[in-house]
């Protein structure tokens, strides 16, 4: 049963979703709920696509898709499909998105846009051509739809922080701390493109661009793999991507941002921390407390200054009017409902959704620059440890 009764008006948009793992589950939840909370164009969840016939059939029934299929190319040939939501691994993004756009389907694709800069450039070119024909496309940087971060962007744009100078972005997880965690597609360059860099630095970097409404002009980077091989079905397999990444970004405005990401930060579960410092104020955010925004107004008398907690749960706050009364907090999954609401409204009004594939390409260029800087190791200065100051771990008096 689809998510909404087909009301009089334009015929419903047929939706196909490709992929049904973690992101497929999160997007399915959003497709199931969006019409219950927001006024969006009529749509129907028509087909869920996956490689395993039994697995995708079970997921389709569980997540509320009318049917399941295993051949995404055949789905693109269907006249009753108008939207393709790509939740497949990164190595499939470019081929599917370009084919879907060429077939006249509106496309939503998960981040990062692609596994390589060349793929991202081809996708952006296909999106420009499709847009000329009224076919829309969007990349799923869902954290832009956290109400607290949408509010942060508004405050910065209103000048409440003055001139932003210094940004700190850290996205820390620990699901790969155990060296015996098995090999997955996310740990191979061939299927994922990169590791923490593309997976979560893409979010952190997009947030810097989103919040400041700025562009990056310089990049330094470093990548590191702490666990070079992991158990595979037939023995140890080489990990060919980074476990952690560091970058500094110079923005066109002159602001400087540091970006740090890791999937081996023991104890950090899904902590995207953002700190934005201006000459008139500052903002603090942590995804693990996504309903809250720390705000310091430096124009107040110093005796009254301090970070105050804004509970971003009022109807006046972005997206919140659709949900619960003030103070009834929302969750991580709501960001995908907001994302699909905005995507559907853009498709329905024939306007470019945001973030666009161009925005995804901008992030991809920065990711590539981090990789190039890391490979050149040009920012790394070798220091020779001095024997006299080398710290030892022997206990006192041992």
| List of residues contacting ligand SOE (CB under 6 A) | 22, 173, 199-200, 203, 270
| Least CB distance to ligand SOE at residue 284 (A) | 20
Instruction: CB nearer to ligand SOE: give 76 or 201.
Output: 201
DSSP codes of every residue in 199-267 = IIIHHHHHHHHHHHT--EEEEEEEEE-S--EEEETTEEEE--S-SEEEEEEEETTS-EEEEEEES--TT
Contact 263, 174 (CB under 8 A): yes
| Least CB distance to ligand SOE at residue 346 (A) | 21
| Least CB distance to ligand SOE at residue 184 (A) | 10
Pairing status of strand 308-311 against strand 292-297: antiparallel
Instruction: CB nearer to ligand SOE: give 46 or 334.
Output: 334
| Least CB distance to ligand SOE at residue 22 (A) | 6
Measured distance CA(116)–CA(237) in Å, rounded: 22
Find the length of the chain.
398
Q: Give residue number: closest CB to ligand SOE.
A: 199
Give, for 360, the enclosing helix (H) or strand (E): helix 357-376
| Least CB distance to ligand SOE at residue 308 (A) | 28
Q: Any idea what the Cα angle at residue 92 is, between residues 244 and 198, rounded to 5°?
A: 15
Instruction: CB nearer to ligand SOE: give 199 or 342.
Output: 199
Measured distance CA(109)–CA(94) in Å, rounded: 9
Instruction: CB nearer to ligand SOE: give 145 or 203.
Output: 203
Instruction: CB nearer to ligand SOE: give 178 or 321.
Output: 178
Structure tokens at 60: 């389709």
Structure tokens at 397: 């008096």
Structure tokens at 378: 């040009």
| Least CB distance to ligand SOE at residue 45 (A) | 22
Instruction: CB nearer to ligand SOE: give 107 or 135.
Output: 107
């Amino acid at each position: 049963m689809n998510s909404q009764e087909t009301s009089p008006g334009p015929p419903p948009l047929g939706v196909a979703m490709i992929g049904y793992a973690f992101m497929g589950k999160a997007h399915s939840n959003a497709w199931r709920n969006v019409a219950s909370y927001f006024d969006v164009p009529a749509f129907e969840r028509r087909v869920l696509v996956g490689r395993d016939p039994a697995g995708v059939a079970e997921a389709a029934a569980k997540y509320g898709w009318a049917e399941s299929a295993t051949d995404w190319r055949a789905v693109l040939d269907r006249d009753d499909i108008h939207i393709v939501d790509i939740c497949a691994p990164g190595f499939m993004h470019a081929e599917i998105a370009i084919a879907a756009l060429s077939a006249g389907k509106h496309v939503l694709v998960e981040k990062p846009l692609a596994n390589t800069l060349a793929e991202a450039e081809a996708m952006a070119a296909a999106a420009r051509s499709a847009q000329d024909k009224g076919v829309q496309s969007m990349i799923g940087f869902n954290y832009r739809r956290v109400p607290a971060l949408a509010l942060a962007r508004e405050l910065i744009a209103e000048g409440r922080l003055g001139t932003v100078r210094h940004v700190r972005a850290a996205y820390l997880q620990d699901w790969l701390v155990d060296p015996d965690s098995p090999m997955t597609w996310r740990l191979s360059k061939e299927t994922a493109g990169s590791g923490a860099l593309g997976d979560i630095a893409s979010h952190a970097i997009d947030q810097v661009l989103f919040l400041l409404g700025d562009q990056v002009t310089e990049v330094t980077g470093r990548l590191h793999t702490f666990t070079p091989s992991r158990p595979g079905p037939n023995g140890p397999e080489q990990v060919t991507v980074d476990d952690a990444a560091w970058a500094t970004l110079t923005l066109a405005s002159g602001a400087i941002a540091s970006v740090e990401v890791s999937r081996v930060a023991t104890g950090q579960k899904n902590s995207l921390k953002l700190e934005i410092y201006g000459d008139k104020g500052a903002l603090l955010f942590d995804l693990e407390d996504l309903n809250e925004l720390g705000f310091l107004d430096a124009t107040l008398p110093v005796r009254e200054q301090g970070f105050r907690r804004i509970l971003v749960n009022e109807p006046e706050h972005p997206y919140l009017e659709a949900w619960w009364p003030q103070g009834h907090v929302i969750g991580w999954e709501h960001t995908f409902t907001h994302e699909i609401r905005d995507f559907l409204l853009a498709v329905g009004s024939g306007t470019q959704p945001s973030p666009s594939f161009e925005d995804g390409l901008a992030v991809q260029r920065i990711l590539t620059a981090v990789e190039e800087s890391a490979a050149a190791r040009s920012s790394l200065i070798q220091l020779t440890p001095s024997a006299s100051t080398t710290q030892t771990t022997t206990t006192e008096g041992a």
